[in-house]
Structure 1
Amino acid sequence: MPLPARPLRKLGFLTIGLFDPADPGAGHESTLRLVHLGEQLGFDSAWVRHRHLQYGISSPVAVLAAASQRTDRIELGTAVTPLGWENPLRLAEDLATVDILSGGRLNPGVSVGPPMHYERVRAALYPDTGDVEDFGYERVRRLLSLVRGEPATAFSGTEGFEVFSDRVQPQAPGLGERMWYGGGSLRSVRWAGEQRMNLLTSSVVKAEESSTDFAEVQLAHIRAFRAHHPDGDRARVSQGLVVIPTDSASADQRERYRRYAQQRLARTAAPQGPARLLFAPDLVGTSAEIAERLSAHAAFREVDEVAFALPFTFDYDDYVQILTDVATRLGPALGWSPAG
Structure 2
Amino acid sequence: MPAPGVPLEKLGFLTIGTFSPDEPRAGHESLLQEIVLAEELGFDSVWLRHRHLQHGVSSPVTVLAAASQRTSRIEFGTAVTPLGWENPLRYAEDLGTLDVLSGGRMNPGLSVGPPGHFDDVKGSLYPDTADVEDFTYTRVERLLHLLRGEPASSFSGTEGIEVFSDHVQPHSPGLADRVWFGAASDRSAIWAGRQGLNLLTSSVVRVGEGSDDTEPDFAAIQSATIRTYRQALPDGAPGRVSQGLVVIPTDTATDEQRAKYAAYVEGRTPRTSSPQGPGRLLFARDILGTSAEIADALYAHAAFREVSEVVFALPFGFAHADYVQILTDMATALGPALGWSRAA
Q: 2:191, 2:93 → 1: CA distance? A: 24
Describe the superposition over 1:18-68 as per-residue Cα deviations: whole angstroms up to 9, x where unpaired: 111111000000010010000000000001110111111110000000000
Tell me which moved more, 97-106 or 162-171: 162-171
| Corresponding position of 2:52 | 52
Q: 2:155, 2:4 → 1: CA distance? A: 52
Q: 2:243, 2:5 → 1: CA distance? A: 14
Describe the superposition over 1:90-146 as per-residue Cα deviations: whole angstroms up to 9, x where unpaired: 000000000000000001111001100000001110111111111111110000110
| Corresponding position of 1:19 | 19
Tell me which moved more, 115-124 or 224-233: 224-233
1:315 pairs with one of 308, 316, 319: 319
1:299 pairs with one of 287, 297, 303: 303
Q: 1:328, 1:215 → 2: CA distance? A: 26
1:253 pairs with one of 248, 257, 263: 257
SS where residue 265 of structure 1 aligns? Answer: helix
| Corresponding position of 1:8 | 8
- State yes or no: 1:335 paired with 2:339: yes
Deviant stretches of 4+, over 3 Å: 208-211, 231-234
Contact 2:184 2:201 in 1 (8 A): yes
| Corresponding position of 1:197 | 197
| Corresponding position of 1:108 | 108
Query: How far did 1:5 drift?
Result: 8.3
Unaligned runs of 5+ in 1: none
- Whichever residue aligns with residue 330 of structure 2, its letter is V
- Whichever residue aligns with residue 306 of structure 1, its letter is V
2:280 pairs with one of 250, 272, 276: 276
SS where residue 181 of structure 1 aligns? Answer: strand
Contact 2:265 2:286 in 1 (8 A): yes
Contact 1:49 1:79 in 2 (8 A): yes
| Corresponding position of 2:330 | 326
| Corresponding position of 1:242 | 246
Query: How far did 1:231 drift?
Result: 5.2
Q: Percent identity?
A: 68
| Corresponding position of 1:220 | 224
Q: 1:231, 1:73 → 2: CA distance? A: 31
- Whichever residue aligns with residue 72 of structure 2, its letter is D
Q: 2:81, 2:138 → 1: CA distance? A: 15
Q: 2:35, 2:163 → 1: CA distance? A: 38
- After the TM superposition, which residues 71-220 of structure 1 pair with which residues of structure 2 at under 5 Å, given as runs? 71-208=71-208, 209=210, 212-220=216-224
- When residues 21 and 51 of structure 1 are mapped into structure 2, their CA distance, relative to the original with a 3 A threshold, is same
Contact 2:181 2:197 in 1 (8 A): yes
Query: How far did 1:230 drift?
Result: 2.0
Normalising by structure 1, what TM-score?
0.97
- When residues 6 and 229 of structure 1 are mapped into structure 2, their CA distance, relative to the original with a 3 A threshold, is farther
Tell me which moved more, 230-239 or 37-46: 230-239
Query: How far did 1:154 drift?
Result: 2.3
SS where residue 202 of structure 1 aligns? Answer: coil
SS where residue 141 of structure 2 aligns? Answer: helix
Q: 1:15, 1:311 → 2: CA distance? A: 8
Query: How far did 1:232 drift?
Result: 6.3
- State yes or no: 1:35 paired with 2:35: yes
Q: 1:156, 1:233 → 2: CA distance? A: 33
SS where residue 62 of structure 1 aligns? Answer: helix
Tell me which moved more, 158-167 or 260-269: 158-167
- Whichever residue aligns with residue 64 of structure 1, its letter is L
Q: 2:180, 2:76 → 1: CA distance? A: 12
Q: 1:123, 1:185 → 2: CA distance? A: 30
Query: How far did 1:163 drift?
Result: 1.3
Number of equivalent positions: 339
Contact 1:113 1:135 in 2 (8 A): yes
Query: How far did 1:158 drift?
Result: 1.6
Contact 2:294 2:334 in 1 (8 A): yes
Tell me which moved more, 203-212 or 325-334: 203-212
Tell me which moved more, 204-213 or 71-80: 204-213
Unaligned runs of 5+ in 2: none
Q: 1:333, 1:13 → 2: CA distance? A: 16
